[in-house]
Amino acid sequence: MTVTESAKVNNADKTTQQDEQMVIATDKKEIDANSTTTETTGKSPATENVAAKTNAELGPSTTTATATTHQNDMQIKTGEVYLIKRADGNVYPAQIIQSRPGEPATGNSASTPAEYYVHYVGLNRRLDEWVSRDRITDATDAETPSEAANSADSADGNGGKTIKQLSKEQIANLENPLPMENSDRKLTRNQKRRHDEINHVQKTYAEMDPTTAALEKEHEAITKVKYIDKLRIGRFEIDTWYFSPYPEEYGKVGTLYVCEYCLKYMRFQKTYRYHASECTQRQPPGNEIYRKGTISIFEIDGKEHKLYCQILCLMAKLFLDHKTLYYDVEPFYFYVLCEIDKRGAHIVGYFSKEKESPENNVACILILPPYQRKGYGKLLIAFSYELSRREGVVGSPEKPLSDLGRLSYRSYWAYTLLEFMKECRTTTQSIKELSELSGITQEDIIYTLQSMKMVKYWKGQHVICVTPKTVMEHLQLPQFKKPKLTVDPAYLRWVPPKRNPTGNAKFKKVA
């Protein structure tokens, strides 16, 4: 980051701090009811993705923090694995990553207990959370998943203990559970991939190439602990998923307040309420390039609106694991999706796209949790392909995709390819022809058709093996139903930027 960029970011932080120091007049008008109504959103499944090198290096802490329990003399040790009771009532094995002391009662505020940051063994890091001492429990106190039950049965059965610490062997078994009840049955690669995707099983370091494994370890060490538990934006209070590198004084607050229009972030509710009553911005900066009904998409140049895009990336990191783009936003365009009403444009999600890499039509994509499972993710995916179509190139998202991103893209690719195959008058089209018609790369087509068993390798090349009846049968399945939201090209007001010829594959225009 250049000196100029750093100064801008620092100035923005100073402005925020000055706002927080202001004395709020008692007669200040309240923000409208829509902005103050809180809807709590749980940790539902979601979207995106870019794996890149991290820009700092921090080794994992080797210091063992201990805390005496309120119930007995046992100590909870950092780095050890215990059974933790989750919100669903089940107990899961989890590693204690860090602890933080409780706060004593002051004035009108009640005391808060000590908490422990835990990572559930074998599950995605977005489920990591801070838990109180009473959630570190014996498996007999709650209904236990099969993996936790097996480990609990084999643990030392001391009925007087409320904590069960797992052995190294048990931890290894939990990190690599057998997905099939019949251990004699071997999984095919496709079955294992599907099992891992559905259950959000992360790859082990042994399954990665050495470079990826090294980067993954470094990334995990830097982003190991998530301090911001909740994000308050507009009428939503959202549970966060991952660490985000906000400035120190903002990065360790329990709840971070963000203006849904300008994305300015604040530590205190009173500052947020005052800002909401004074902020005049009602939509993202940049150009509105798509509007149909209540759906709008804005194109924002990272070079022209650097501060907004930087803050957008910081907020997105709360819900994206592998994302290192925070300050170097100039080489990217950002496409922000909003819902429009009489109060303004409410941010739903966005995707970014590198300016000089047209073959990669998406660098990063996110739908905020309150808007997930409503069709917005596939809408943005379809929009990225419509932009590529206007540019006359075949595009694909940057790889690797996250687990949720991979599921969303494969669902979009499957439906799109089935629709094109249904409309074709012949069933002998090649993968190359299907790529030119759909705008999906040949590699992505092969990956998708293999998952549906519609392609075979014959005489040194992949060949589509499908009949019209098979296509129609697939389109009748619930997983291949028409998306809830679609892009209408007639409402897109956008001219692609001029580029130097790159020799990319071209679209074949369909009459």
Quickly list H helices, 248-375.
248-251, 269-278, 306-317
Distance CA 490, CA 58 (A): 50
Q: How many residues does the chain have?
A: 511
Other CB atoms within 10 A of residue 304 CB: 11
Active site residues: 398
Distance CA 171, CA 337 (A): 42
pLDDT value at residue 210: 56
Query: Domains of the chain by range and CATH?
Result: 3-53+224-391 (3.40.630.30), 66-178 (2.30.30.140), 406-480 (1.10.10.10)
Q: Which of 46-60, 66-80, 223-237 has the highest mean pLDDT?
A: 223-237
Count of CA atoms in the C-beta half-sphere (13 A) of 26? 0
pLDDT value at residue 71: 45
Task: Report whether pLDDT(147) > 90.
Answer: no
Distance CA 81, CA 92 (A): 10
Task: Provide the mean pLDDT of the chain.
Answer: 74
Q: Once rounded to an integer, what is the mean pLDDT over residues 104-122?
A: 80
Enumerate residues 6+ apart whose C-beta is below 8 A from 223: 242, 243, 321
Q: Which of 151-155, 165-169, 453-457 has the highest mean pLDDT?
A: 453-457
pLDDT value at residue 458: 83
Tokens of 87: 């919100």
Quickly list H helices, 302-430.
306-317, 376-391, 403-423
**Overall pTM > 0.85:** no
Is residue 167 within 8 A of residue 175, CB to CB? The reply is no
Given the DSSP bridges, would you call strands 360-362 and 364-367 parallel, antiparallel or unpaired?
unpaired
372-412, pLDDT tens digit by residue? 999 999 999 999 999 999 999 999 999 888 878 888 999 99
Q: How far is CA 317 from CA 47, 80, 228, 323, in A?
A: 12, 28, 11, 6
- 93 in helix, strand or coil? strand
Q: Is 122 left (phi over 0), alpha (psi -120 to 50) or beta?
A: left
- 403 in helix, strand or coil? helix
Task: Report whether pLDDT(94) > 50.
Answer: yes
Residue 323 DSSP symbol: -
